[in-house]
Amino acid sequence: MNAPRSPLDHDHYGDALRAMQKALSHFEGCTDREKDALADDFRKLNEHSRKLETGSVCLSVFGEINTGKSSLINALLGRCVAEVSIEGGATRSCSEWVLKDQAYSVPGFEESRVFITDTPGINEVDGATRARIAREAAEFSDLILFVVDSDVNHLEHQALVQLKELDKPILVIVNQMDKYSTAQQQELLQLLKTDRFEGLIPPENILSASADPMEREYLIEGPDGSTRSRMRKPDPNVEELKIRILEILHQDGKSLIALNAALFASDKSDRIHALRIRYREDQSQKVVWSYAVGKSVGVALNPIPIADVVGGSFVDVGLILNLGAIYGCEITRQNARTIIKTILQSAGWVAAADVISRIAFPALKGLTLGMGTLLTALPQGAIAGYTAYIVGQAAKSYFEQGASWSEEGPKAVVARILETTDKASIIDKLKEEIQRKIQKNKYSSDREQKSRLRID
């Protein structure tokens, strides 16, 4: 990295670097699945980070169709790269070029480069596309060039107001000035500076240009004093714009990219954080519920001693390992067993299990064996599922805190979960799942029996 050390802007730049590093560090704790989901953000952050480190600046050119945006880029580059056409809508997508002239750079950065992006006319695309292009410009542009070719209309004014909200500096270029007389040029500039863009764009950022002037008649004087006329295309005139861009790059270039990068990084940090929380929440809830259902159905179909149900020894370490993986915590089966034990103890279920197993189990066992299904299987299965559900929720909270019970301690965490869980509705839902499964099994065994009878 070749960051300059000017005392004036060092802090902005340092802040931006730190914000960028922080945003990138969020990815380190991501699981592979999260990395896939955030791949686009990661790519953009890396691009921004590279831009910040090399001191590179992005300019974007906006404006209505046919105002001369592509011509302006050609004039700035000094060669014909962007398609220019009298027919409106020549530019259909965004393209980017590098302003190769050495002067276009931010002082202090050896690898500094200035990129310029052409965009379709704002009246060429629909409102949603316009908003998307503006959003993308917000992400990558450090300086916006807005091209007009006459007094502005409502759409242009509206687009400019939208762009202004992005907090990027804007230069308005009044192009095609060659079409006007000197008096008209002055009148137009005056109108834009003191009326149309008053309070929106500072007058020094409203500039005139002729990017692709029309052929003009030139009078050529011969050696004998005679004159003849010839049509010739004048050279483009974008000097005012060039000077203003260079001024901005040299005075504020570093702050511009620092500000932009810091904005982008903090926005992405928040987004990555929020996305990760949501993603992990969704995934872990699905895992907890599927384990709870699996356990309740399994226990209902194959009743196990009530001590195991309430004591939770059936709770699969797989649930804990799965949750750990979602939160990017690698844990062993032994760790998983310890977590389950801590949760069950905190809920008071281990002690309760001893009592219940001694008093209630013989009676329930008799019932279970005698009636076989719904009378005992349904509540027993539902309780098993509920226990797994609570264990899952508590483990989820443990992993959310970076594999720690935090200052609250496991007892308080489990108590909070028990308090805020609607036990009755969870049990009802689990019973529904069990009944659905039992029905399905019944039909399939009926079918099996029927087909066996046919074979016999």
Ligand X SMILES: Nc1nc2c(ncn2[C@@H]2O[C@H](COP(=O)(O)OP(=O)(O)OP(=O)(O)O)[C@@H](O)[C@H]2O)c(=O)[nH]1
Closest approach of ligand X to the CB of residue 178, in Å: 5
Task: Give the one entry of ligand X, Mg ion, none that residue 376 binds, where binding means its C-beta sits below a cut-off of 5 to 8 angstroms depending on kind.
Answer: none
How far does Cα 418 stand from its chain's mean position? Answer: 35
Q: Which is nearer to ligand X, 119 or 283 (CB)?
A: 119
Name residues whose C-beta falls within 8 Å of residue 191's C-beta, 6 or more positions apart in sequence: 151
> What's the closest the beta carbon of residue 194 comes to ligand X, in angstroms?
23
Q: Is 67 in the site for ligand X (CB under 6 A)?
A: yes
Q: What is the per-residue burial (b if ≥16 Cβ within 10 Å, else e) of 167-196?
A: ebbbbbbbbbbbebeeeebeebbeebbeeb
Residue recorded with tokens 């699996």: 294
Check binding of 60 to ligand X (CB under 6 A).
no
Tell me: does residue 117 bind ligand X (CB under 6 A).
no
Q: Which is nearer to Mg ion, 75 or 265 (CB)?
A: 75
Q: Which of 14, 29, 78, 88 binds ligand X (CB under 6 A)?
A: 88
Binding residue (CB under 5 A) for Mg ion from 56, 70, 119, 205: 70
Cβ proximity of 425 and 433 under 8 Å: no
Residue of this chain nearest to Mg ion (CB atom): 91
CB of 143 to ligand X, least distance (A): 18
Q: Does 56 bind ligand X (CB under 6 A)?
A: no
- Candidates 81, 252, 75, 251; CA nearest to 173 is 75
Out of 34, 156, 212, 308, point to the residue binding ligand X (CB under 6 A): 212
Q: Considering the complex, state which of residue 30 and residue 84 has its C-beta at the smaller distance from ligand X.
A: 84
| 189: contact with ligand X by CB under 6 A | no
Site string for ligand X, 431-450 (x = CB under 6 A): --------------------
Nearer to ligand X (CB atom), residue 67 or residue 376: 67
Q: Yes or no: say if 304 and 313 are a contact pair by the CB < 8 Å rule.
A: no
Rounded CA Rg of the chain:
35
Give, in degrees to the nearest 5, the angle at Cα 299 between 297 and 301: 65
Identify which of residues 118 and 308 has a Cβ nearer to Mg ion in the complex. 118
Nearest in space to 44 (alpha carbons), one of 27, 32, 60, 29 = 27
Q: Exposure pattern of 115-131 as b/e (b: 16+ CB <10 Å)?
A: bbbbbbbbbbbeeeebe
Residue 357 binds which entry of ligand X, Mg ion, none, CB below 5-8 Å type-dependent: none
Binding flag, residue 71, ligand X (CB under 6 A): yes
The verdict on 179 binding ligand X (CB under 6 A) reads: yes
Strands (E), 52-118: 57-63, 95-99, 114-118
CB 72 to ligand X: min, Å = 7
For residue 338, count other CB atoms closer than 10 A to its CB: 13
Which residue of 49, 74, 91, 119 would you call a contact of Mg ion, by CB under 5 A? Answer: 91
Structure tokens at 277: 């929380």
Place of tokens 């909070």: 416
Nearer to ligand X, 41 or 212 (CB): 212
Strands 227-232 and 216-221: antiparallel
Please report whether residue 213 would count as binding ligand X according to CB under 6 A: yes
Q: For 103-258, list the strands marked E by DSSP.
A: 114-118, 143-148, 170-174, 206-208, 216-221, 227-232
What is the nearest approach in angstroms of Mg ion to the Cβ of residue 189? Answer: 23
Q: Do 56 and 96 meet the contact criterion of CB atoms below 8 Å apart?
A: no
Q: For 245, how many CA atoms within 13 A lie in the half-sphere containing its CB?
A: 26
C-alpha 164 chain-centroid distance: 22
Partner whose binding site includes residue 179, from ligand X, Mg ion, none (CB under 5 to 8 Å by kind): ligand X
Give the one residue of 121, 298, 312, 324 binding ligand X; rule: CB under 6 A.
Answer: 121
Q: Does 208 sit near Mg ion (CB under 5 A)?
A: no
Q: How many CA atoms lie within 13 A of 342 on its CB side?
A: 19
The footprint of ligand X on this chain (CB under 6 A) covers a number of residues equal to: 27
Which of 56, 117, 176, 380 touches ligand X by CB under 6 A? Answer: 176
Give the shortest CB-24-to-Mg ion separation in angstroms: 36
Shortest distance (Å) from residue 36 CB to Mg ion: 36
Residue 85 interacting entry, from Mg ion, ligand X, none, C-beta within 5 to 8 Å by type: ligand X
CB of 92 to Mg ion, least distance (A): 9
Cβ density class 4-27: b for 16+ within 10 Å, e for less = eeeeebeebbebbbebbeebbebb
Judged by CB under 6 A, the residue of 16, 38, 90, 287 near ligand X is 90
> In the complex with ligand X, which residue's Cβ is closer, 77 or 403?
77
Binding site for ligand X (CB under 6 A): 63, 65-71, 84-86, 88-91, 120-121, 124, 175-176, 178-179, 210-214
Binding site for Mg ion (CB under 5 A): 69-70, 90-91
